[in-house]
Amino acid sequence: MIHDIQYIEGSVAAPLGFKAAGVKARIRYNKKDLALIVSEVPAAAAGVFTTNKVKAAPVVLSARHIADGRAQAVVVNSGCANACTGEDGMTMAVEMAREAAGYLGINAEDVVVASTGVIGEKLPMDKIKAGISEAASVLSSDGGHDAALAIMTTDTVPKEVLIKLEIGGSVVTIGGIAKGSGMIMPNMATMLAFVTTDAAITPQLLRKSVTYAAERTFNMVTVDGDTSTNDSLIVLANGLAGHSIIEQEDENFFIFRDALERVCKALAMMIARDGEGATKLIEVEVRNAPAFADARKVAMAVANSNLVKTAVFGEDANWGRIICAAGYSGADIDPERIDIFIGDEKMAENGAPLNFSEDRAKEILGCKEVKITLDLHHGSEKATAWTCDFSFDYVKINASYRS
């Protein structure tokens, strides 16, 4: 469904009733590294989290805190993941929630906690507590950008989006921030993403919308094929826009769901574009598959292929690597029906080579954004994945991540 959606400047503090802050707690570096996002009233809450069996304490705690479909605040730190830290990890996550709740005058169970950074190190709680205190004192409706800066690790740019639309005669805004550059293949949602909205929707339908959006956006992003221990997508909807609450799957529900998907897609593409060492954004579109699951498998197999990613970096139109990835994806495909395009240049038809222009293909691969298309001619479903090329700098960054 296509709706009248406007992209405007701002992010998570822009929807009615939300404030945010990002401050320097100096957890690991001298940068903004602690963020607070708060709704002035309790909000419907939904989230999806990493499927990695090794889950960080904040993930476990936050899943517990939003189980009732309600939350009012999010506290996030970068610089330390608080993952694989034993019983102390949960103690520290609980302490973060309690500390934020105390300054905000709300229940600790209504605070979502998230952490990102190095695995296997404990949080410096004295710095965390000081950061929470400072963030609570500078909360602002203009604080979304600072919050986006505070959740970054190896990201080179903050990731923010804000859209405006109409639901039930009322203006509704949806804002989001995300971080992610490496250890990216979510299998849930994203590395860390936080979305706020003043839309009014039941927790059940919010959860359904979040799951739908994540499956088609964040779950279609990969940088390096690694699923983090801390991946979390949290959405808060406080209902202050003024329209009647969405409590059934009617037109307003689909308008909201599709708008949420737009926000998630924008953030997901920013993450892929900002992959560690990336020089190009790669979009992989799979058309005419027998089922969405098959389209997704093919798209993700191609996007995850290091051979495809290095070929794009080297501007080599090696379409054989693309069809190879489709073949091992596990999807229902007929290799003799597959057409492959790089940009608008058709490389292969019915699984066989065409006499394409190498010069034109190299020109396409030299662009900052490269689109790969596979037409399976085997159904009517489609899916799109986003990734980045694999450059020399990716190895350099990850060879010295802890230093």
| Structural domains for the chain | 6-273 (3.60.70.12), 281-399 (3.10.20.340)
pLDDT at 188 > cutoff 50: no
Which among 376, 299, 303, 370 has a CA at the least distance from the CA of 336?
376
Q: Supply the pLDDT for residue 53.
A: 81
Tokens standing for residue 238:
């406080």
Which of 129-138, 182-191, 351-360 is predicted with the least confidence, judged by mean pLDDT?
182-191
Q: Supply the pLDDT for residue 189.
A: 38
pLDDT at 130 > cutoff 60: yes
Cα dist. 3→172, 260, 392 in Å? 13, 12, 41
Give the full edge-to-edge strand order of the sheet including 352-353: 352-353, 345-349, 339-342, 369-375, 281-289, 381-388
Number of helical (H) and strand (E) elements in the chain, helices listed first: 11, 15
How far is 307 from 130, CA to CA, in rounded Å? Answer: 46
C-alpha R_g of the chain:
21
pLDDT band, very low/low/confident/very high, at 95 (cuts 50, 70, 90): very high
- The DSSP call for residue 138 is T
pLDDT at 107 > cutoff 70: yes
Q: Supply the pLDDT for residue 300.
A: 92
Three-state DSSP at 277 gives coil
Give the number of other CB atoms < 10 A from CB of residue 280.
Answer: 22
The pTM of this model reads: 0.86
Q: Supply the pLDDT for residue 219.
A: 85
How far is 88 from 90, CA to CA, in rounded Å? Answer: 6
Q: State whether the Cα torsion 105-108-110-115 is positive or negative.
A: positive
Which among 261, 200, 223, 264 has a CA at the least distance from the CA of 393?
223
Q: Supply the pLDDT for residue 184.
A: 44
Task: Name the percent of the chain lying above pLDDT 70.
Answer: 92
Q: Supply the pLDDT for residue 87.
A: 93
For the chain, give the mean pLDDT. 91
Active site residues: 190
pLDDT band, very low/low/confident/very high, at 156 (cuts 50, 70, 90): confident
